Amino acid sequence: MQSCAYVQANLGAPCRVFLTEDTPLYTVCCVGKHSVAVEIGPQPHGILRADVTLTMKRVVGLLLDFAHLFNTGHELPPTRVDHIFRTKERVNFPRDADGDLKGVIHPSLQDNDWSRLNPGDPIFLTLDEEVITWPGVSSSNEMYVAFVNEAAYYEKNLAFWLCTRESKQVAGLRRGATDVEK
């Protein structure tokens, strides 16, 4: 979390933290004790966007700067991490009895990752142009959406993630300290 706070403080652009602690992921970034993955976008496949490329370069540079500070014994003070989105539920596309897709993301939800979802908000539009709204049934009152309509998730039956939003105070960090918080 300290590395996330460091990037948030130095990036000069929105930086969200997507936590999947309760959701098993089967990716290379999850094999280490403290994994991290950087995703910047959206960016369509086969397209090179300068803004996305430059932001990725800046984030990777900041993460390397953070690792250098830690590895050279610099004490990193207690800090706060904002814009933490913790996964709570997977939402699938509407399907018919045969399992075929019968609806798409509603236009008002498209391109609105990280926004709050309220009960009654439209989430899908069926192929018959029926609007499907979010009932608001969840373990939390405030839910946010993430990775809405990502092409890579179609085969995983994932229309979007429902997340809670939080901030967290993290302890100071110094190499060799025994009371370091995860």
Output the six-digit token pair for 142: 């405030």
Sign of CA dihedral 74, 75, 77, 79: positive
Tell me the pLDDT tens digit for each residue of 97-154.
998 999 999 999 999 999 999 999 999 999 999 999 998 865 556 899 999 998 777 7
- The question of whether 39 is a catalytic residue gets the answer yes
Asked if residue 181 has pLDDT above 50, the reply is no
Asked if residues 143 and 121 have their Cβ atoms less than 8 Å apart, the reply is no
Buried b (16+ CB within 10 A) or exposed e, 156-178: eebbbbbbbbeebebeebeeeee
pTM: 0.78
Q: What is the mean pLDDT of the chain?
A: 84
d(CA 4, CA 19): 11
Asked if residue 14 has pLDDT above 80, the reply is no
Percent of the chain with pLDDT over 90: 41
d(CA 144, CA 162): 6
Of 39, 75, 130, 142, which residue is the catalytic one?
39
d(CA 106, CA 179): 47
Classify strands 17-19 and 79-91 as parallel, antiparallel or unpaired.
parallel
User: Which residues make Cβ contacts (< 8 Å) with residue 100, sequence separation at least 6?
Assistant: none
- Alpha carbon separation from 28 to 24, 68, 98, 135, 140 (Å, rounded): 12, 23, 34, 35, 30
d(CA 121, CA 115): 12
Tell me the pLDDT tens digit for each residue of 148-173.
998 777 778 899 999 999 999 988 88
Quick one: pLDDT band at residue 40, thresholds 50, 70, 90?
confident
